[in-house]
Amino acid sequence: GSPAEDLKISAMGNRAKIEDENPLWDNGVYWYISLGLSGGFSLMGDVLTDPGDKGLFDCIGRLSWHLNGVGGYRAGCTLDLDNSQTWRKIGYYGPAGVFCDDSVCGYGSILKTDGLPMFCAGSVCTSQECCQSARQCNVDVCAMGYLLKPPSKLPPFCATFFCQEEECCIKAPRCKASVCSIGFHLKPEGMLPPLG
């Protein structure tokens, strides 16, 4: 085939860790290999192999290729790439270098999502070159019909750069007649508050 002019999707991680541990988060990317099905990565960590990753959210951050010899299932949002003559998988590897991973980031910080260096400047990575402050849950994460969890149930920091509804929110309770005092009745459906 002709040389690739650009890479449509790529990720970088510690090859030894990716081969030895499965699945795992490395370098801000969720890597997986489902033997006999597929292997690849996702920026979200919610992989649905059937046999390739059919996850619906954040398609642009997903790569999945079948392990049955017929090619890849997806490159970002482009699907059904089995036996494609247009798309190619390219794997690069090199000598072990010193590069950022989550072990460098202390409490309250996560790997940078932007500006992460390919290799660290010295013989040891520093949190200043690799990490950014982790986000905390807030009400903006919760969709209609959900409320922010009570403070005692909230994580101190979100697990990834984007806080997820599952870690920050609970389903809002619905109004019931049983909460109405004597002499009061449940409001008609159209007059109930949208979140209660």
Q: Which of 171 and 98 is assigned the larger pLDDT?
A: 171
Neighbours of 50 (CB within 10 A): 12
pLDDT at 188 over 90: no
Give the HSE-up count for residue 56: Cα atoms under 13 Å, Cβ half-sphere. 0
Per-residue pLDDT of 43-66, as tens digits, reads: 988 888 888 888 888 888 999 988
Q: Are strands 38-42 and 62-66 parallel, antiparallel or unpaired?
A: antiparallel
Query: Would the pLDDT of 84 be above 50?
Result: yes
Residue 114: CB atoms within 10 Å: 6
pLDDT of residue 196: 38
For residue 142, the model assigns a pLDDT of 93
User: Do residues 130 and 151 make contact, with C-beta atoms less than 8 angstroms apart?
Assistant: no
* Prediction pTM value: 0.48
